Amino acid sequence: MRHISSDEFRRFFLYLFALSTVVLVRSYAPLHLIPLVFPSGKQLFFVLAIPEFEAPTKEMRKAVPQMIELKRHTANCSQAAALVAAILGGSATLLGEALASDTIVEPARSPMIPGMAAVKIQSMKQGAYGCTISGAGPTAVAVTDDESKTEAIGASMVLGFRKHGNLRAGYSVHKLSKDGAKVVESLDF
């Protein structure tokens, strides 16, 4: 495992997002990244709905409780383990269920994103296995293994933001890359 600088770290994650590759960040200091390989012969699609809404990371971080009950912490650790198991085992269903089962961060941030609760429900009605807030938000991400459902999932997410949050939104579909994670020395932005 190669350790990389903070500037390389930023470029690396921008590249990973473009590839939709899954990487476990074991630690930040020193940075230790572990690529997680989804089994060949299986597909995974991420549908991202991006509302026209400002959700400053600093404010979104403040919403997360500083102290949590052991029961909630244990539940979230179980879901994190389920995410890894789902990726390595090729289970889109388990991956979606684990993504949608956050008991700490999403419940605190979701009310700050107008329409987010409806987006989650609507995406799953259209065939997503799970939906959650991507990063600090306001982007929502849903997961499926059925490419034929991605357009309906994306449209339902956009509609959820519009009807229940009074927000304009767009969506994009990203197929999980089978090439794996790569460290990029330089990217032009």
Residues with Cβ within 8 Å of 74's Cβ and at least 6 positions away in sequence, in order, are none
Is 97 within a domain? yes
pLDDT, position 23? 78
Does residue 49 contact residue 171 with C-beta atoms inside 8 Å?
yes
Q: Considering only CA atoms, which of 28, 33, 34 is closest in space to residue 88? A: 34
State the CATH number of the domain containing residue 101.
3.30.70.890
Is 93 within a domain? yes
Q: How many domains does the chain have?
A: 1
Is 27 within a domain? no
Instruction: Provide the domain limits for residue 59.
Output: 40-175
Residue-wise pLDDT for 21-66, tens only, equals: 677 888 888 888 788 888 888 999 999 999 999 988 889 899 999 9
